Amino acid sequence: MSSKQQLCRQLGAWLFCLLLGQNLWAAPSRTVPNLRVDQFGYFLNSRKVAVIIDPQAGRNAATERFSPGTGAGQYQVRRWDNDAIVFSGTLQVWNNGNTQAQSGDKGWWFDFSSVNQAGSYYVFDVGNNVGSYRFEIGDQVYQQVLKAAVRTYFYQRINHAKQTPFTDSKWTDIASHEGSNQDRAATSRFAKGDATTARDLHGGWMDAGDMNKYVTFAEEPVAILLEAYRANPTVFGDNFNIPESGNGVPDLLDEVKWELDFMKRMQDATGTGGLFLKVGVDNYNEAVAPPSNDRRPRYYLPECTSSTISGAVMFSVGASVMRQIPALQSYAQDLMARAERAWARAKVTTNNFTNFQEDCDDQNIKSGDADRKAKDQKQSLVAAAMYLFEITGKAEYKAYAERNYNLSEPVSNEWWGPYAMHIQASYLRFAQLSNVTPSIATAIRGMKAQQNPTLSLNDYNAKRDLYRAFMADAQYHWGSNQVRGNAGVANMDFLTFNVNPLQKDQYREVAESYLHWFHGVNAQGKVMLSNMYAYGAENSLNELFHVWYYDGTDWDNALTSSKGPVPGYVPVGPQNMVRYQGTVSWLRNEPLQKRFDDWNATYPENSWEFTEPAIYNNAPYISLLSRLLTPTSDPSDTEAPTAPTHLTASDLSPFSVKLSWTASLDNRGVTGYEIYQNGEKIGETNQPWFNITTLNPATAYQFTVKAFDFSRNVSPAGNVVTLTTPAPGSYDYSIYGDALRNTISEWSWSIVSNLNNTSLVKEGTKSLKVDVNAAWGALSLRNSEILQTSNYPGGLQFWLYSTTDKTVRVVVNQTDTGPTSNVYRILPTPNEWMLVRIPWSEWNSPTQIQRISFMDGSGGAQSFILDDIRLIAGNTPPDTQAPTVPSNLNVSNITQTSLRLTWTASTDNVGVTAYEVYQNGSLLDGNVTGSNPKAVFGYHFITQQVTDITYNISGLTCGTAYIYTVRAKDAAGNISGNSNTVNVSTSACPGGGTGANEVIYNEALDSKWREWSWSVNRDYNNASPVKIDTKSLRISYTGGWGAWSVIRSSHILPTAQTTIKFWIYATTNKTIAVFTNGEDNSQESLNFTFKPTPEAWQEITVTMPNLGNPAKIKRLTIQSQASGTNQVFLDNIRIETPMPTARLGVESGVLSPEPVEIPAKGRMVVSPNPASEPFQVTVWTPDDDRRANLELYTLAGMNVFSRTVEANTGRNDYTLDIETLSAGMYLVVWQNGSKRLSEKVLIIK
């Protein structure tokens, strides 16, 4: 007799058996547990693989040893009703016959994916004459399973009766927790029984096997269930047989609504907009089942920042999803308002999201600890902000999300692992919004696109798990079934959010394998849902640790008790037992995947660590299953698309080509295109173009394209394109080939490089090995000159070898210290050489590069090897010859605000295209082409042309020194050396401070200023918050004492009345400092510090006395004065001097608080500054002072040098030796009586 026949008689489940009819009796004569299949079945057109096992370790090794028939055709798929053979095949041995350490099993795979006719089947071992459990094939095999899993939430309801017809009579119960001191009048944990603290907190779900209710624990399952509905709403009907069925609202949303209504009461009860933390009892004296027998008083824990933030997440995602249902639009509006109130409250209680409560739950209310770490609360805040922006469009939420998205996981650690799936969904939803900053959306999607090594394609294709649903040892902790469900959901996220669309079929296949694990393809051979026999399972979970289905009650066991547990619960799952303190010792000796048992005994066996269900276990399973219920085809559509036309090839290089074509047409719509190379399919795309980067040089190819639709109807091929790739030119720019190019220098961090590695070599005799010893370490290679990418249209190419699949990141810099490009991520195939070709388009098509960095992308140590690193040139030699140096640079026509430059033209082998004019070392104009004069007014360029080699400059500052040089360039971007230098000062000012009235930033940085910051990220086009006009400057300090610093092209000479003013909107009250420098890197003023008021605009005014009355200003710095990260927004940064101005300030180091005439005080100059060798101090004095003191002080006030010197009328030169001095900033002081001059000098060694 088959197991199904035994089961029917055992259960008395004659109706089920009757429905199966006489087909039941055609089952195999004997079933064995060694043939593991999905006991419910498989989709049409999906991968179908049975796992055949021979246990080597664990308890079942003594009773279930098995030698399958491994010869050709020894395995079959047979129809259940008549034993007809529909497929014969041969087993594939797993992992060369080795035993899997995690499961203790040897195994084989039997792939019967070609069986695609709907029906009932079993797998049959011919040699052993045994079969598997029955399974179905069809697109409707899981619908009833989904209903059972969703209906568990109905049975978890508190304060709600379970009565027929909404339940079988076995599971009826009156409403629980309706007592006078229970949920409708729960009192405070800190005033138990005090009626003045009583609150109506009825409703909601019991969290797990206990009957307590937690706000923080509900955040993830509520959000996951809502996103599951949004991903595939058609599978969630209004017919799941709950009391709300038939009301026009999908039953899943009605169920979630039951929980959200409870959350509303938890918010209303506080009166603040925050939420209470949890509701429960203060002892473990559970009553005998059913739940209505529990009469214990119920208490609540007051508001906590964690629960308020969780409320904001649940309300905002609820509003986002439910507003799509006409009958729920007003409900969604209320949720949106509640989400905003919770957000506003959290903003207050966290001190503007800086201080988070982590110890609200003292565990007096049993039993789970509802507290959350600050990092988790911050993570939820980002999710709340993202959903709030989606539903409100308010700038505040967008600004918070975009400021903080990269400070929380999964972006901060670049690992989108199987945890907090609702957070990942919020990021991907946010990235889909049209009004999100494009670069942020791209960064989010790009990082998700790189997650194939994270329980996805890499592990699946490497066949790392015998049971085809890999999890690392670290994931087998308490709640491993939740993690496994999340792993499946993570793979479906690629499809839901259209990430890596060309691999969508593979992601679905991986996700299905995780689902099959739940349905019996696992080391237990057991369906990991409770009591699923009536749904087609033949070995499902029989016992749960749950107050209703308690050990020894009528609901104890699905097979031996009169009632058994409710179907559809997902238990905790197998685990490593690190936290297990029970007495079942044999479990510790089991292989990791077998550390599980089907029992529900209480203390001291502590079965709850394995078989307790929970709302957060079922949620990811429901999300995974429901998203897979999308039909795989439309049987009614049999019409193929039209063939693609006008296929053409472009951008041909020795290794790559771009194909483009005219889009096809289809009666239902074109889904994508198949690309064929020499008759073999090489890829798919949903765009009418495709880049191919895997070609070989000097090789002929033929390409065609076919279109396909949703039902996989495929068009005929379009026209054929034939081409031959060119041979690689001798013009490639070799960066490394047995040695670094002589123009390349290494400037790396957190790595050890070996340029002469010989252990693994791809080309030549040596390779370049990189040992990364800290997270994000990098090999960084700098060229001595800038390279024009137009000379190397093929991009960057190199060989890569790694022993792991850890991500390697590649970035470029257009200049040595310029901004870093987008990140190009590589997922190596372990232990294989990979030829990597990266087109410039991956880095937004830079026109030039000077630095390339190969970085760790895994957040840890790793090693990899590089070889034959080169830039791929075109078929013609690049022009690498620079023009001759411009000569005879001269200056004339000098006024207070203008001058004229002239020079002798350069020559070039191809032709000079333009000149670059530099003012004080900064590029003033990079396109002087030689026709009409070009005027510059206030550095806002008015485009005219330059006649011949004459260049007029206006808009200068009176009484100011300038330095000019000129360089020539050609069309290839080759640039000559510098011309001779001319030094000039504009005519003296008529009076007043010079340049002391100007706006440094308002909508943009003024062209006279250039940035030279450290440890900051900045955005000059920030849209929110803004004080003046439409933009502000966002400064994100990425480390302690980071600074935004700008340098002016020429000096400002302030008066005592000059002020520096700006508006600031700070996110914290961390101290900010403002200071200036008289030169680029010297003559630093005193610091002016202040503590800003968070989340409010305030205007800051810095006076010159605040800064020690600097004599001149060349640089302005706004610096964080605290450790860690910080973020501020600045607007309308300006320097103001009231009119009339005071007496002329001097360009010397005078420290006197009052400005004085230059002749009266004298003048001092220190040169060179900074100094790496003995430096000269020059002092001009109008008097014959005879003697003066020359001294050198540290900035701490220590005198390190002092001597008496001659001081005659006019110029006096003194030389100071620095041999005995340490590197650092010093103050040079020259003093005679009341006459005192000083200058700062930076000594470098």
**Among 506, 505, 525, CA closest to 516:** 525
The dihedral region occupied by 993, where left means phi > 0, alpha psi between -120 and 50, and beta the remainder, is beta
Q: Among 148-152, 863-867, 994-998, which stretch is predicted with the lowest mean pLDDT?
A: 994-998
For the cut 60, the answer to whether the pLDDT of residue 1151 exceeds it is no
Q: How confident is the model at residue 683 (pLDDT cuts 50, 70, 90)?
A: confident
Q: How confident is the model at residue 876 (pLDDT cuts 50, 70, 90)?
A: low
What confidence score (pLDDT) does residue 419 get? 97
Q: Among 248-262, 471-485, 785-799, which stretch is predicted with the lowest mean pLDDT?
A: 785-799
Q: CB neighbours (10 Å) of residue 1233?
A: 8
What confidence score (pLDDT) does residue 1234 get? 67
For the cut 90, the answer to whether the pLDDT of residue 701 exceeds it is yes
What confidence score (pLDDT) does residue 731 get? 83
Q: If DSSP codes are grouped into helix, strand and coil, which group holds residue 1156? A: coil
Q: Among 12-21, 22-31, 266-275, 387-396, which stretch is predicted with the lowest mean pLDDT?
A: 12-21
**Among 155, 129, 117, CA closest to 35:** 129
Q: Which residue has the higher pLDDT, 647 or 698?
A: 647
Reported as a single tens digit per residue, the pLDDT across 92-105 is: 999 999 999 999 99
Q: Give the mean model confidence (pLDDT) for residues 375-389.
A: 98
Give the chain's domains with CATH numbers: 1-141 (2.60.40.10), 143-372 (1.50.10.10), 464-629 (1.50.10.10), 645-724 (2.60.40.10), 733-872 (2.60.120.430), 887-985 (2.60.40.10), 998-1136 (2.60.120.430), 1158-1243 (2.60.40.3080)
What confidence score (pLDDT) does residue 1211 get? 78
What confidence score (pLDDT) does residue 895 get? 83
Q: Give the mean model confidence (pLDDT) for residues 241-258.
A: 97
What confidence score (pLDDT) does residue 631 get? 67
For the cut 70, the answer to whether the pLDDT of residue 994 exceeds it is no
| High-pLDDT (> 70) share of the chain, % | 92
Reported as a single tens digit per residue, the pLDDT across 820-869 is: 887 888 888 889 998 888 888 778 789 899 999 999 988 889 999 999 99
3-state SS string for 540-560: EECCCCCCCCCCCCCCCCCCC
Q: If DSSP codes are grouped into helix, strand and coil, which group holds residue 265? A: helix
Cβ proximity of 117 and 78 under 8 Å? no
Q: Give the mean model confidence (pLDDT) for residues 558-583.
A: 96
Q: How confident is the model at residue 717 (pLDDT cuts 50, 70, 90)?
A: very high
For the cut 80, the answer to whether the pLDDT of residue 1219 exceeds it is no
Hey, which residues does 1214 pair with through a beta bridge? 1177
Cβ proximity of 88 and 76 under 8 Å? yes
**Among 293, 285, 270, CA closest to 201:** 270
What confidence score (pLDDT) does residue 875 get? 64
Q: Give the mean model confidence (pLDDT) for residues 387-394.
A: 96
In the sheet where 187-188 sits, what is the strand order? 187-188, 299-303, 276-280, 213-214
Q: Which residue has the higher pLDDT, 1108 or 592?
A: 592
Q: How confident is the model at residue 996 (pLDDT cuts 50, 70, 90)?
A: low
Q: Give the mean model confidence (pLDDT) for residues 1061-1065.
A: 94
Q: How confident is the model at residue 1245 (pLDDT cuts 50, 70, 90)?
A: low
What confidence score (pLDDT) does residue 827 get? 81
Q: How confident is the model at residue 1197 (pLDDT cuts 50, 70, 90)?
A: low
For the cut 50, the answer to whether the pLDDT of residue 549 exceeds it is yes
The number of CA neighbours under 13 Å toward the Cβ of 56 is 11
Hey, which bits of 938-1071 come out as E strands?
940-942, 950-953, 961-970, 982-985, 998-1001, 1009-1011, 1016-1022, 1032-1037, 1043-1052, 1059-1066
What confidence score (pLDDT) does residue 633 get? 61
For the cut 50, the answer to whether the pLDDT of residue 6 exceeds it is no
What confidence score (pLDDT) does residue 1158 get? 36
What confidence score (pLDDT) does residue 989 get? 61
DSSP letters spanning 934-963: -EEETTEEE----BTTEEEE-S--TT-EEE
Hey, which residues does 137 pair with through a beta bridge? 42, 119
Report the distance separating Cα 892 and Cα 816, nearest Å: 35
What confidence score (pLDDT) does residue 190 get? 96
* Mean pLDDT, all residues of the chain: 88
| High-pLDDT (> 90) share of the chain, % | 62
What is the pTM assigned to this prediction? 0.66
What confidence score (pLDDT) does residue 26 get? 64
For the cut 50, the answer to whether the pLDDT of residue 943 exceeds it is no
Q: Which residue has the higher pLDDT, 1051 or 1156?
A: 1051
Hey, which residues does 771 pair with through a beta bridge? 752, 863
The continuous run of DSSP H or E covering 426 comes out as: helix 421-432
Name the CA radius of gyration of the chain, rounded.
Answer: 37
For the cut 90, the answer to whether the pLDDT of residue 575 exceeds it is yes
Report the distance separating Cα 1053 and Cα 924, nearest Å: 22
Reported as a single tens digit per residue, the pLDDT across 1071-1115 is: 999 999 998 888 889 999 999 999 889 999 999 989 988 988 999
Encoding tokens for residue 506? 């593979």
Report the distance separating Cα 551 and Cα 604, nearest Å: 13
Q: CB neighbours (10 Å) of residue 212?
A: 19
What confidence score (pLDDT) does residue 853 get? 96
For the cut 80, the answer to whether the pLDDT of residue 325 exceeds it is yes
Report the distance separating Cα 750 and Cα 629, nearest Å: 48
Reported as a single tens digit per residue, the pLDDT across 961-979 is: 889 999 998 877 788 999 9
Report the distance separating Cα 1108 and Cα 1101, nearest Å: 15
Q: Is 1193 exposed, middle or buried (0-12, 13-18, 19+ CB in 10 A)?
A: middle
The continuous run of DSSP H or E covering 624 comes out as: helix 615-628
For the cut 70, the answer to whether the pLDDT of residue 1139 exceeds it is no
Q: What counts of helices (H) and strands (E) characterise the chain?
A: 17, 62
Q: How far is CA 74 from the centre of its chain?
A: 48
Encoding tokens for residue 908? 């070039």
Report the distance separating Cα 301 and Cα 213, nearest Å: 11
For the cut 70, the answer to whether the pLDDT of residue 937 exceeds it is no
Cβ proximity of 798 and 839 under 8 Å? no
Q: Among 529-538, 949-958, 1028-1037, which stretch is predicted with the lowest mean pLDDT?
A: 949-958
What confidence score (pLDDT) does residue 10 get? 41
Q: Give the mean model confidence (pLDDT) for residues 396-414.
A: 93
